[in-house]
Amino acid sequence: MDRALEPELRRELAERLRYYRDLGIHDFYRRGSRPRSMEIEPAAETVSASSEKLLFSVEPQEDMGARKSGVMPVVADGGIFEVVSPKPEQGVADHASALKVIREDLGDCRRCKLHQQGRKQIVFGVGNPQAELMFVGEGPGADEDAQGEPFVGRAGQLLNNMIKAMGLRREDVYIANIVKCRPPGNRTPERDECETCSPFLMRQISVIKPKVIVALGAVAAKNLLAINAPMSELRGRWYDFKPAVSDPSWPGARLAVTYHPAFLLRDPRQKGEAWKDLQMVMKYLGIQPPKKSAE
């Protein structure tokens, strides 16, 4: 271990290593000193925010104008060490079966303190195991905790409308969260909770191999990208995303960040901005928005 590491960082690394050892994972490889870099493409300047009203009820907005460009680091697992031990789902060709293996591995998870803070059940994830598009939120709320499915409450209804406005059905996409247990009082999941849970999300992503991941809100974005930046900087650009342990023949996903539906419920004026983010995704995936019915 690097002698120059801050004591706090050393302590956190030691904790994390202990946690992985508890899981039976012993092989760790040190990453290069600089994270892999990626191009951030200037995103589509032609996206129009005015074309879709539908159930997502997007108000017309001005064009996005020049988009951000530059080079940004990608840290897919949010940690300094990559865990390269084989996973039980590796070699299971069928995506649905591989996801079941991960769910079984998760078991009645008690790896973090959320298991004793009032969660009713684990909310694993839902949708098409071969989805091209995956949405990742923050963590289950009361409705999700009661039903065992992500995004089934009011924010979920808005997410459904967003998916529909894109010309897709909820069953076409895969939906998951950074943490799989409801934080008490819907507080933001804490760092240790996210770090404990995210290896399972990474494994889900590695099985599904989506073309695009949409991070819903700052908590999801910051955890997936290990970037601490405001939403204004995180949105409107593409990131490359590939979990450290994943099929070498899969090039990885592109990741976009948009507002969390719960935020859009509180501030509906931002729906137009979210729609621009989704149009960027649709353009990349070659999805045409559904035609408006003649009035």
What are the CB-based long-range contacts (under 8 Å, 24+) for 232-238?
A: 233/68, 235/259, 235/273, 235/277, 236/43, 236/64, 236/67, 236/68, 236/276, 236/277, 236/280, 237/40, 237/41, 237/43, 237/67, 237/68, 237/69, 237/72, 238/40, 238/41, 238/43, 238/280, 238/284
Q: Taking each helix axis from N to C terminus, what angle separates 191-208 and 95-106, rounded to the nearest 10 degrees?
A: 160
Among 151, 174, 239, 241, indicate the residue that binds ligand URA (CB under 6 A).
Answer: 151
Shortest distance, CB of residue 141 to ligand URA, whole angstroms?
4
Specify the stretch interacting with ligand URA by CB under 6 A; choose among 132-140, 206-214, 230-238, 276-284.
132-140
For residue 66, the tally of other CB atoms under 10 A from its CB is: 9
Of residues 163 through 182, those in contact with ligand URA by CB under 6 A are 177
- Using CB under 6 A as the binding rule, whether residue 138 contacts ligand URA is answered as yes
Specify the stretch interacting with ligand URA by CB under 6 A; choose among 85-93, 150-158, 166-174, 237-245.
150-158
- Shorter beta-carbon distance to ligand URA: residue 79 or 140: 140
- Shorter beta-carbon distance to ligand URA: residue 220 or 245: 220
Q: How many residues sit close enough to ligand URA to count as binding (CB under 6 A)?
A: 12
CB 96 within 8 A of CB 102: no
Among 141, 199, 236, 243, indicate the residue that binds ligand URA (CB under 6 A).
Answer: 141
- Residue 24 tokens read as 């039976």
- Shorter beta-carbon distance to ligand URA: residue 78 or 141: 141
Burial (CB count <10 Å: 0-12, 13-18, 19+), residue 253: buried
- Using CB under 6 A as the binding rule, whether residue 137 contacts ligand URA is answered as yes
> Shortest CA distance to 227 belongs to which of 18, 37, 62?
37
Specify the stretch interacting with ligand URA by CB under 6 A; choose among 151-159, 226-234, 247-255, 284-292.
151-159
Among 52, 77, 132, 144, indicate the residue that binds ligand URA (CB under 6 A).
Answer: 144
Give the gyration radius of the chain's Cα atoms: 19
Shortest distance, CB of residue 153 to ligand URA, whole angstroms?
6
Shortest distance, CB of residue 49 to ligand URA, whole angstroms?
24
DSSP of 96-107 = HHHHHHHHHHH-
- Using CB under 6 A as the binding rule, whether residue 127 contacts ligand URA is answered as no
CA distance 96 to 190: 30
Of residues 226 through 285, those in contact with ligand URA by CB under 6 A are 262
Shortest distance, CB of residue 114 to ligand URA, whole angstroms?
14
Q: Site residues (CB under 6 A) for ligand URA?
A: 137-141, 144, 150-151, 155-156, 177, 262
